Structure 1
Amino acid sequence: MDFDPLVAKATSPEMAELRSRCPVSHTSAGRWFLASYDAVLAATQDVELFHGTMREKGVVVPAEERLLSEIPEPRHGQVRRIINSAIAAHRLRTIEPMCRRLCEELLDDLRARDGVVDLYPAYISPVPNNVIAHLLGAPPQDYPLWAKWSDEVLEGTYPTLNRTDRGEGFAGAHPEFCAYIDAIVADRRANPRDDFPTRMLDRELDGRPLTDLEARTQLLFLFVAGNATTRHLFSSIMHRLAADPELFATLRADRSLVPAMVEECLRLDPPVRVLFREASADAEWRGHEIAHGDKVDFGLESANRDEGRFECPHDLRLDRPEPKAHLAFGGGPHVCPGATLARMEARVAVETLLDKVVSMHIPAGEELEGSTVWWIGGGPEHLPVVIEWATAAEPVG
């Protein structure tokens, strides 16, 4: 087929046709694309056949340098248990107060500014960056540095080729970022703390602790994933709040609706539009002959707007049944391990904003642009707004 679903909008008539008539298609680029909710959900559950990788064919990555998303089973499950134990829900309860204080401080600083303000650098970006820095044991003042490095990783050739023009592997491709993470690992080896890196280093894999290289690789994965994806979720949420005064007023009057709004933004604007997978063996799957090594792309954005699964799929609805039924975090055994953290950060950021802001709007004539990385979804990377601030005496919902 000539139509390329990888870059098409999920709202287009062509994508709707694909979802209903050809949910598993072989594209002109020689890749498989899964467009429907049922196909994507089934594929996320088949972790033996489909393993995660963005690498181009022929690119070999040493086992210790494979990111969590590209480690095949059964090793994936072993590494995942280490990460899950370090960011378990009960541990996140200690992070929520820190996140709320941060949101309050950022908004108080923003209140002192006059005229149009850009929410992206002032509020959207600092919240997830500071929270993931806190979780991963990095000094908060360093977040602009490693956030910049994280973007360079996503925008460069390392995810697909395991190298850049600077060198091979993460150490060669991004030596400064590599040295930064290695320093955290070395420090926790010498000076253990009650934090994520120490807990990760204390756990065992196949009866032994993680090597420094394995620890570096998974910290890299968490630095990049915990920063970029949550930031784009925040941007989607804030954009919709600024563009829809009625939605803003509804949420301000009833805070119990905030979690539903977060889930709808995840469904409509998933921070990752497509999950990249590779077939681990020859297989007949849903009536199609898929060969070992074939690239298979899971269309999360398309699945989340499947007319056969969601009523009025392109509308934001706060009363939608099963609000978490979307696939923004993937699905199956390899669902995103940071989903609980991202949901908490988004909820707190919205609640705090509603406490301090009566309304906000985007000035007329502003042109908003999304990420320069085509498979990244979510909201714009520039969000100028005019804010009407609440007074201390105003009641809130």
Structure 2
Amino acid sequence: MLTTRELFADDALHDPYPLFDRLRSEASVHVVEDQHLYVVVGYDAVREVLADPGTFSSNLVAVLNGDSGATAEVQVADTGGVDVLATSDPPEHTAHRSLVQSRFSRRAVQEWEQFVDELLEPRIRKLIDEGGGDWMSAVASSVPVRMIGKIMGLPDGDSEQLAAWSDEAIAVVSGVASPERVGEALTSVIDFARYLGEHLDAAIEHPTGGLLDTIALAVADGTLTRDQGTMFLVQLVTAGAESTTSLLGTAARLVAADPSVQTRLRADPDHIAALVEEAVRLESPFRGHFRTTTRPVTLCGVSIEKGARVMLLWGASNRDDTVFDHPSEIDLDRPQPRVHHSFGRGIHFCIGAHLARLEACRAIALLLSHTTEITLAAPEPHYVPSLVVRRLAQLDLVLTSSHPNPSPSRETSTQGARSTGRNR
């Protein structure tokens, strides 16, 4: 029987895959009786849940907390705890997604490639000129929040504060924060919501040209309430920054840790997209998401009552050896590289997936093009402790420049960026 203690053990938080492998070998669905929680680890079982949003609601009711050993209600006072987009169900979810879908389509995202390069290149060149350093603070944590801020129409000068607020939102659902820490984080999230609400109000009179305008108009015409609009923006900033930061870190770690992969990518850059897909499969940026049953249901022979909490562990299903050959290894020639669950599937497929892939592909392409060698400065990477996210806290790289006379960095403002708090 799975216990809360096993889920929150230090070893499992740092490296969950031995636990995931054992659980999968025993059953696809496990019961954590003291939590009224069902944990789904098998690929087919996860796929079955994702295909039935009517039975498995995405509404956020509670999150698991290992510090207190109990599920704790998550409510944000300033937003009324409303469910939007990722945590909404049809028909509301359909309407919410239609508001922003076109902004994150493959074609729309490709138009941002030049701006992505403008954000990435000076940061990468600076790190290379210095012989290496922490990839997370210099690049991975800096670029995604600026990118999502630009798309939304928020001031670039507020990026550091947005990143800090995003971290606080993640802390609320991390599962490892003490009740006191959760309270502090919720206070910050209220400030975050207030800031976004003010920009939402202002966008009606003074359009930004960004996604803020779309959400503001939806509030103005009654499609969304103001609280829904605010929470919509909170989700876009937090999820957009978090998932891409994680992916940028994992992709760089995989390249640095395996000389054969690095050699192949230098010889054939067309395989960078495959490397990014393996990165997102091997280390799902979000370890999993919660669902709530709307009726009694049987899943893989396990009877689940109405109102039960269900946790889908993407990271476990992505390494199911009944679906993936040699699942814990990098394979740049997988015949179906995108059948993993890291970006979800079905109606809740990650709306920012194309953007995350673009940023990661461009980051690895630029890193390889400006270096002759990339290695890890430390053998054991350190991850942020969380049951919900899988993100490197730090990734120290040693970088050998391919340019005989490195040019001065064009941007120095990232020196020591976010060395506290997230430190991602």
When structure 1 is superposed on structure 2, of 281-290 and 30-39 the one drifting more is 281-290
Give the aligned CA root-mean-square deviation in angstroms.
2.7
When structure 1 is superposed on structure 2, of 17-26 and 305-314 the one drifting more is 17-26
Letter of the 1:176 partner, please give it.
Answer: D
| Distance in 2, Cα, partners of 1:16 & 1:97 | 41
The number of residue pairs the alignment matches comes to: 384
- 1:23 corresponds in structure 2 to 28
Q: Does 1:135 align with 2:186?
A: no
| Distance in 2, Cα, partners of 1:97 & 1:39 | 40
Q: Is the 8 A contact 1:20 1:36 kept in 2?
A: no
Q: 1:281 aligns with which of 283, 290, 295?
A: 295
Task: For structure 2, list consecutive stretches of 5 or more residues without a partner in the other structure.
Answer: 64-70, 406-424
- 1:40 corresponds in structure 2 to 46
Q: Flag the 1:143–1:51 CA change in 2: closer, same or farther, 3 A.
A: same
Q: 2:394 aligns with which of 372, 382, 389?
A: 382
- 2:199 corresponds in structure 1 to 184
Matched-pair identity in %: 26
When structure 1 is superposed on structure 2, of 58-67 and 240-249 the one drifting more is 58-67
| Distance in 1, Cα, partners of 2:318 & 2:200 | 38
Q: 1:165 aligns with which of 171, 183, 188?
A: 183
Q: CA deviation at 1:6?
A: 4.1
Q: Is the 8 A contact 1:235 1:381 kept in 2?
A: no
Q: Does 1:105 align with 2:122?
A: yes
Q: Flag the 1:245–1:193 CA change in 2: closer, same or farther, 3 A.
A: same
Q: Flag the 1:15–1:88 CA change in 2: closer, same or farther, 3 A.
A: closer
The CA deviation string for residues 128-179 of structure 1, in whole angstroms up to 9 with x for no partner, is 1211111111222221111011101211369999x95369xx6x55333123
Q: CA deviation at 1:90?
A: 2.8
Q: Flag the 1:286–1:362 CA change in 2: closer, same or farther, 3 A.
A: closer
Q: Is the 8 A contact 2:104 2:354 kept in 1?
A: no
- 2:66 corresponds in structure 1 to none
Aligned pairs for 1:25-104 (under 5 A) are: 25-29=30-34, 30-52=36-58, 53=60, 55-56=62-63, 59=73, 65-104=82-121
Q: Is the 8 A contact 1:24 1:39 kept in 2?
A: yes
The CA deviation string for residues 256-315 of structure 1, in whole angstroms up to 9 with x for no partner, is 101100110111111011211111222233333211211111111110000111111111
Q: Is the 8 A contact 1:86 1:200 kept in 2?
A: no
Q: 2:214 aligns with which of 199, 212, 215?
A: 199
Letter of the 1:99 partner, please give it.
Answer: V
| Distance in 1, Cα, partners of 2:328 & 2:250 | 14
Q: Flag the 1:60–1:326 CA change in 2: closer, same or farther, 3 A.
A: closer
Q: Is the 8 A contact 1:164 1:173 kept in 2?
A: no
| Distance in 2, Cα, partners of 1:173 & 1:104 | 32
Q: Is the 8 A contact 2:74 2:81 kept in 1?
A: no
Q: CA deviation at 1:336?
A: 1.2
Letter of the 1:387 partner, please give it.
Answer: L
Q: CA deviation at 1:370?
A: 0.4
The CA deviation string for residues 48-99 of structure 1, in whole angstroms up to 9 with x for no partner, is 1112226256848677722422212221121111121333333223211100
Q: Does 1:373 align with 2:386?
A: yes
Task: For structure 1, list consecutive stretches of 5 or more residues without a partner in the other structure.
Answer: none
Normalised to the residue count of structure 2, the TM-score between the two structures is 0.83
